[in-house]
Amino acid sequence: MNTKKLFSTVAFAALSALGAPASMAAPQVFFGETLGLGEGTRLATFANATNARNSFLSNLTGVGTESFESYANFTAAPLAISFAGAGTATLTGTGNVDSTAPGATNGVGRYATDGNKYWEASGVFGITFSAPVAAFGFMGIDIGDFAGQVTVTTVNGGPTVYNVGNTVSGLGGGVLFWGVIDTAGFTSISFGNTQPGTDFFAFDQMTIGSIQQVTPVPEPETYAMLLAGLGLMGFVARRRQKRALAA
């Protein structure tokens, strides 16, 4: 194969891989946790959780977020949710909408991260989407101070179980963000608690994104191929320069 044809082949392969659809990627998990200061303290900022959420959102466009501000206190499941711009869903299982006064907790560590309302639960609850989604993320508040850990299960044919990995037995009032992007898509998600009835959690700013709303992100091997192609271009250019000087 001559150098011109080799150059064209490698460059085309690298650029094609760079534009490969995000559906080729493995699931991406995003997590950040800001530890609490006690059950009576509402954190004004929670940098680790916010940074993880921003990283999650940077891979998406036009997503929908539910902060429960439009629901009356103590509204229980089933709950119809409209994720503006991304679809609709139904929340089922345990829990209810609750709220606090601005700047306060509910006295035992729970509060909202956007507005003053949130979903509170201790047992299992789940969300079924009207159409498959590729992304789901949430803020979790006061998780783990009574040794509970959150598990998240997505379903697309078979289930995929994730352990959120929150700190256990720390001070109350902490805030975490957890999210997953899986371009294979999933039709429902459920939340588990290793200490149901003992550890109660608050959930806020639930965000979903459709498969079409995921921004394609090249995988590491794509970058490697692109760099190899660029390296070959440089090598060919140097050889041509040497030949021109020798002529």
Give the model's pLDDT for residue 215. 87
Shared domain for 75 and 181, answered yes or no, is yes
Same domain, 131 and 237: no
Pairwise CA distance, residues 211 & 182, whole Å:
8
**Using 50, 70 and 90 to split pLDDT, how confident is the model at 25?**
confident
Share of the chain above pLDDT 70, in %: 77
Band of the pLDDT at 16, cuts 50, 70, 90? very low
Q: DSSP letter for 211, please.
A: G
Does residue 56 fall inside a structural domain? yes
CA distance 171 to 105: 14
Residues 108, 223: one domain? no
Top pLDDT among 131 and 220 is at 131
Whether 62 is covered by a domain: the verdict is yes
**How far is the first Cα of the chain from the last one, in angstroms, to the nearest whole number?**
23
In a domain, 10, yes or no: no
Structure confidence at residue 181 (pLDDT): 98
What residues pair up with 118 in beta bridges, in sequence order?
98
Instruction: Tell whether 38 and 155 lie within a shared domain.
Output: yes
Q: How many C-beta atoms lie closer than 10 Å to residue 90's C-beta?
A: 15
Question: Does residue 119 lie in a domain region?
Answer: yes
Domain span holding position 225: 218-247
CATH number of the domain at 191, please.
2.60.120
Asked if residue 201 and residue 239 are part of one domain, the reply reads no
Domain annotation covers residue 16: no
**pLDDT reported for residue 157:** 86
Do both 91 and 135 map to the same domain?
yes
CB 185 within 8 A of CB 134: yes
Instruction: Average the pLDDT over 125-151 and give the result.
Output: 97
pLDDT of 61-75, one tens digit each?
A: 999 999 999 999 999
Are 29 and 101 part of one and the same domain?
A: yes
* Residue 203 and residue 231 share a domain: no
List, in order, residues 6 or more apart from 236 with CB less than 8 Å away.
3, 6, 7
Residues 122 and 225 in one domain: no
Q: Burial of 44 by CB count in 10 Å (0-12 exposed, 13-18 middle, 19+ buried)? A: exposed
Residue 13 maps to a domain:
no
**Each residue's pLDDT tens digit, 195-210:** 999 999 999 999 999 9
Q: How far lies 51's CA from each of 57, 113, 123, 206, in Å? A: 10, 14, 28, 16
The confidence band for 188, taking pLDDT boundaries of 50, 70 and 90, is very high
Write the pLDDT tens digit of every residue in 149-168. 999 999 998 999 999 999 99
| pLDDT of residue 54 exceeding 70 | yes
Q: Which residues contact 44 (CB under 8 A, 6 or more apart)?
A: none
Domain membership of residue 8 (yes or no) is: no
pLDDT at 19: 47
In a domain, 173, yes or no: yes
**61 in the same domain as 92:** yes
Q: What is the mean pLDDT of residues 173-182?
A: 98
Q: Which amino acid is at 12?
A: F
How many domains does the chain fold into?
2
> Looking at 5-19, 35-49, 69-83, 195-209, which range is the least confident one?
5-19
H or E stretch including 231? helix 220-246
98 and 61 in a single domain? The answer is yes
- Distance in angstroms (rounded) separating the CA atoms of residues 80 and 114: 19
Q: Domain check: are 144 and 104 in the same one?
A: yes
